[in-house]
Amino acid sequence: MFTIFENRMIVPNVYQMTVHAPDVAQSALPGQFVIFRPEEDGERIPLTLADWDVQAGTVSVVYLNVGRSTAKLASSKAGQTLPTVVGPLGNAMEIDRYGAVLCVGGCYGIGSIYPIARALKAAGNTVVCVLEARSSFLLYWQEKLRAVSDQIVCLTRDGTSGKRGHIGSLAEIIRTLPMRIDRVILNGCNYLMMRGSQETLPLKIKTIVTLNTLMIDGTGMCGVCRVSVNSETKFACVHGPHFDGHQVDWAEVTQRRKAYLQEEVIPLRTTQPL
Ligand code: FES
């Protein structure tokens, strides 16, 4: 059993949870993920690590409350326990000295991008973080990210914070930056990563995405997380989750992600308490 230290809504519908899992914290690396299960025999939820503290033995994730299992997770209180915390899983993000790296996060991806930006900065890169949201009230962790970046750009659809625009404005943002960008890292929903990759393709900037696929075991056993990258079949959990965004078959990723859409909605229609 894993004790919950903290679980709170940080912006509407987005939660930050910190759990005591010392073994996971001990070996966590930027870009790896964990699987949480909020109840015995419940759904397994893959979540990218947003932070960890080796001394305290804790790991933190940022997640969106979108279905029955995440609603159950969202209703958990500090002091309660989770039956399952598995990890760290997947490969770490490749960290090297690239020059100037643009880290783009949207929604829960703002949290996931944090350890990556921190590691890139520590490796000697110039780090620019772009935080994308519909409106300013959906932005979070600006100060935390500012501490590990050279520049922060907020991008809101309604222009209430930073620049007015969305992920489709990424190429324009890159052109207006005072430095040449050598690498782009995109983290958020699949649409954000697909659209962001389309923006960087004509600019010929290497772009890494962290794929959100359906997962069961997270260890290469079930095949549910199958994706096509550069026309080769890969399992997101063991070959990824980080891939070249210009080589991902996004139509297939989107199609497979929708496979259980109906089943995901049915539990939300029942009157049973979570
Ligand atoms: Fe089962 Fe990747 S989640 S193979």
Q: Is the CB of 235 under 6 A from ligand 1?
A: yes
In the chain, where are the structural domains located?
A: 2-89, 100-257
For residues 30 and 93, give the distance between their C-alpha atoms in angstroms, rounded to a whole number.
6
Domain 2-89 identical in fold to domain 100-257:
no
Residues 98, 74 contacting (CB under 8 angstroms): no
Nearest alpha carbon, ligand 1 atom 4: 220
- How far CA 155 is from CA of 131, 140, 197, in Å, comes to 6, 12, 17
Q: The tokens of 24 are what?
A: 């996971």
Cα distance between residue 37 and residue 46, in whole Å: 9
Could you please report the per-residue DSSP string of 142-196?
HHHHHTT-SEEEEEETTSSSBEE--GGGHHHHHHHSSS---EEEEESSHHHHHHH
Q: DSSP letter at 264?
A: H
Q: Name the residue of 44, 216, 229, 233 to mutate for ligand 1: max ligand atoms within 8 A of Cβ.
A: 216
Q: At the topology level of CATH, where does 100-257 sit?
A: Rossmann fold (3.40.50)
Q: How far, in Å, is the centroid of ligand 1 from the Cα of 236? A: 7
pTM: 0.93
Ligand 1 close to Cβ of residue 233 (< 6 A):
no
Pick the CATH number of 2-89 from 2.40.30.10, 3.40.50.1370, 3.40.50.1220, 3.30.70.20: 2.40.30.10
DSSP 92-130: PPP----SEEEEEEETTHHHHHHHHHHHHHHTT-EEEEE
Secondary element (H or E) of residue 256: helix 250-257
* pLDDT digits (tens), the chain, 274 positions: 899 999 999 999 999 999 999 999 999 999 999 999 999 988 899 999 999 999 999 999 999 998 888 999 999 999 999 999 999 999 999 999 999 999 999 999 999 999 999 999 999 999 999 999 999 999 999 999 999 999 999 999 999 999 999 999 999 999 999 999 999 999 999 999 999 999 999 999 999 999 988 888 999 999 999 999 999 999 999 999 999 999 999 999 998 877 777 777 777 666 555 5
The total of other beta-carbon atoms located within 10 Å of residue 47's CB is: 24
> Is any ligand 1 atom within 6 A of the Cβ of residue 256?
no
Q: Which atom of ligand 1 lies at the shortest distance from residue 221's CA?
A: 4
